[in-house]
Amino acid sequence: MNTMKYYKILLSVLIISCSVSSIAATPDSTKAGKVNKFTPGAIWPDNHGTHINAHGGGIIYQSGTYYWFGEHKIAGDAGNKAEVGVHCYSSKDLYNWKDQGIALNVSNTPGNDIEKGCILERPKVVYNKKTKKYVMWFHVELKGKGYSAARAGVATSDKVTGPYQFLKSYRPNPGEMPFYPAGTPDSEKINCVKPASKTDGFFCRDLPGGQMARDMTVFVDDDGKAYHVFSSEENFTLQIAQLSDDYTSHTGKFIRVHAGHQTEAPTLFKRNGIYYMIGSGCTGWDPNAARWFSAKSIWGPWTFHGNPCKGEGSDITYGGQSTHVLPVAGKKNAFIFMADKWTPKNAIDGRYLWLPIHFKGDDLEINWLNSWDLNEFKN
Ligand code: GAL
């Protein structure tokens, strides 16, 4: 065969195989095909061909595998309550996810803090190198009490995929005043004798029993210290609180961020020694504009930078709300913004919006893409 002919045949084989794999990869397909791109907002089938059920989730990377934990939702508006628990999926490539089942089950015991029918949101798992345990934190609302309990819940497991054993739920840091880094002006310090604002008033009201803890994330720093970030003070102010060495309780050291400005859905990550947070405003299941912050120390001061999203739909985060920022293993400067597109009338149909974060120096930006893959990070 002459060389020209050989190359022509090779080229057509390549073209055919590429187009076949891109058809099979369509995440909207109901069959369990091989996925090789992210399609924000589309149905995302797991290895059984079922739409992934891990809302308000987060991802941990362990020995070459990613584990995605999120709220398992059921159909209808009943799905806004925890009827099942926390679902886990695993993946080696971030596109194709294997169902690992329920990592944390809700309890059938009446009165249990995580009784079936409670609200259990935004689970995040971290690994504790000292205790060799996986620690899952989440937001818990006691069954039948609406959103009034505002507690942080914690569960642990020896195995990443579970089963996780529920330990306790509570409001963090009772009796503790915030930590103020050197240089904090007195005007920013809380005076519970005469609270200066509505949010300071909520803080002082909750001082004896512990601070409210709703939308949340957990972040482990390079030195192994872990932090719980949560919407507190009736969702008016974010708090960043240090966790104990075993990651299962709070140490009493915490700061308040962007007091009075209602930040929810926090995510926290670190790049080139700078800490970044991306969160949302506070409009329930309805989307609003995202917001980002950065700081040179976890203890602040945190600088508010406004909306990281650009272009059409940026004023409502393209219909989504942040839940986690995932550093892609083995790639420098590769961070994925993960958001939920909530569908509260049929909770199980909630979609996932994953988008690449682009950095310009130390600033970041998020743009909508109909579909993309990890090669995006080469640009
Ligand atoms: C959102 C929050 C969700 C859920 C919802 C309930 O603001 O981010 O996690 O709590 O409110 O209305």
* Buried residues in 241-280 as b, exposed as e (16+ CB within 10 A): bbbeeebbbbeeebbbbbbeebbbbbbbbbbeeebbbbbb
- Better-predicted residue by pLDDT, 11 or 343: 343
What is the model's pLDDT at position 8? 46
Distance 265 CA to ligand 1 centre (A): 8
Q: Are 350 and 343 in contact (CB under 8 A)?
A: yes
Nearest Cα neighbor of 294 from 365, 363, 225 is 363
Give the residue carrying structure tokens 């909508």: 368
For ligand 1, atom 11, name the residue with the nearest CA.
284
Distance 237 CA to ligand 1 centre (A): 15
Q: What are phi and psi of 65, to 5 degrees?
A: -130, 140
For ligand 1, atom 6, name the residue with the nearest CA.
284
Q: What's the token pair of residue 195?
A: 């609270």
Give the residue carrying structure tokens 């990651």: 247
CA distance 79 to 319: 19
Say whether pTM exceeds 0.95.
Answer: no
For ligand 1, atom 8, name the residue with the nearest CA.
265
Contacts for 350 with CB less than 8 Å, ≥ 6 apart: 55, 73, 340, 341, 342, 343
Residue among 286, 321, 324 to mutate when testing ligand 1 (max atoms within 8 A of CB): 321
When pLDDT is cut at 50, 70 and 90, the band that residue 379 belongs to is low
Distance 56 CA to ligand 1 centre (A): 9
Give the residue carrying structure tokens 């519970």: 192
Q: Is the CB of 286 under 6 A from ligand 1?
A: no
| 132-191 pLDDT per residue, tens | 999 999 999 999 999 999 999 999 999 999 999 999 999 999 999 999 998 888 988 999
Q: Is the CB of 285 under 6 A from ligand 1?
A: yes
Nearest Cα neighbor of 264 from 226, 302, 235 is 235
For ligand 1, atom 7, name the residue with the nearest CA.
284
| 223-266 pLDDT per residue, tens | 999 999 999 999 999 999 999 999 999 999 999 999 999 999 99
Ligand 1 atom with least separation from CA of 264: 8
Distance 296 CA to ligand 1 centre (A): 29
Q: Is the CB of 215 under 6 A from ligand 1?
A: yes
CA distance 191 to 171: 21
Residue among 86, 118, 121, 283 to mutate when testing ligand 1 (max atoms within 8 A of CB): 121
Arithmetic mean of pLDDT, 190-196: 97
Q: How far, CA to CA in Å, does 208 sit from each of 3, 169, 216, 253?
A: 82, 16, 21, 16
CA distance 152 to 171: 6
